[in-house]
Structure 1
């Protein structure tokens, strides 16, 4: 897996080669990645070469050739932030589903799809009131469901997670869990009253809920103020 800076550099090199037909200079790479010196670019270039993504050609100026691209960069809406975080949305497209049976997942086609309850809306912005009632059901491919435990879906409201590939109006698929690792995107219940979709971090005994949009500040809470309600495993987008 590439680091965020490695992904950013590879993406920058590809875009410049597509535009100009030649790779950018080391100075241009340094400026694009906001690094202080070219030595950092040398290290990133070496790492990309060792992993087989680029090749340096001898005796040629700007002698870099892209050999392959990681799967994350081939997906629409790629961002280095989302790819490095460990979550890359599994997106399926479809129309809004009609109302379905009572709450609970139900097999529609064996191993092909499941119907999950959509438990209302979740804020990808400032927290909104906690969600508890089923609004409708949505069909989800079985391959999208991750690990053990129950799953449910929520409709996203807000744009604080756009750099993680999560847009206003998307349906997110959540696996129920009360624990999370640093970097996971979770449904967090704040002070038993408000629910929000954010990236989870532990910091010196506190919990930080990070947005994936620079317009939103990171919110930091005491450990006892935040309860993890589930972890993001998939996404459904309607057009």
Structure 2
């Protein structure tokens, strides 16, 4: 039996994973539940873990998987699956950008994307990766990128992860996007519009938010999923 706060937190995590493919940060949980400190979130997370509803991944900051849901949210009978998935990278295949493989889609991995200091724009296919079809939300083309750096670690995105991106040129505040800076640097950050400027915000306090004139930043896609290889 869960308390109201425990159920509220589990519901919030589940909705954010379903929307973004990654769990929310502790700060986002604190704001969503209107708590004054992160210590309350730590207690709720521990309680959910002890009751078997979630699992925290060892040595992975802010990485949370939902193991099951209470019947009021659909439970295991509803076929819930966490959108952070494990698996080995497949061998490189010289195929079209996307093609169906069983119940999965095979996407091109377009090199690396910086979750830290921006790196050169991504423009080549390094290999392909199989992605569950259910992860590919919305219309438009999808592609994958390998994450380099730790600036998004509090959003559950770690160095070496594969992020699944849906191509789009628009984003809402708070979306995690692939941003092209000054037509030559690509980075994975949270997107915020501030008047005539664009703020690219990390999910790691060690990195400062970078602000650019609106015409210097182009959205290349929005995060819809995450694949972790162990």
The alignment's TM-score, normalised by the length of structure 2, stands at: 0.70
CA RMSD of aligned residues (A): 2.8
Match of 2:91 among 89, 93, 98: 98
Query: Does residue 155 of structure 2 align to residue 164 of structure 1?
Result: yes
Change (3 A) 1:184 1:12: same
For residue 31 of structure 2, give the secondary structure of its aligned residue in structure 1.
Answer: helix
Please name the residue that 1:5 is paired with.
Answer: 31
Q: Indicate the structure (1 or 2) with the bigger Cα radius of gyration.
A: 1
Q: Which blocks of at least 5 consecutive residues in structure 1 are unaligned? A: 20-65, 81-88
Residue in structure 1 matched with residue 54 of structure 2 by the alignment? 74
Cα deviation digits, residues 81-132 of structure 1 (max 9, x gap): xxxxxxxx821101121001334110001xx200000000000000000011
Q: Report the counterpart of residue 45 of structure 1 in structure 2.
A: none
Give the Cα–Cα distance (whole angstroms) in 1 for the partners of residues 108 and 99 of structure 2.
9
**Greater relative contact order structure (CA < 8 Å, 6+ sep):** 2
Q: CA deviation at 1:5?
A: 2.8
TM-score (norm: length of structure 1): 0.68
CA shift for structure 1 position 4: 3.2
- Give the number of equivalent residue pairs: 179
Spell out structure 1 runs of 4+ moving beyond 6 A. Answer: none
Deviations 1:171-204 (A, max 9, x none): 0000000000000000000000000000000012
Contact 2:30–2:38 (CA<8 Å) still a contact in 1? no
Shift of 1:7: 4.2
Alignment of 1:186-225 (within 5 A): 186-225=177-216
Partner of 2:215, secondary structure, is: helix
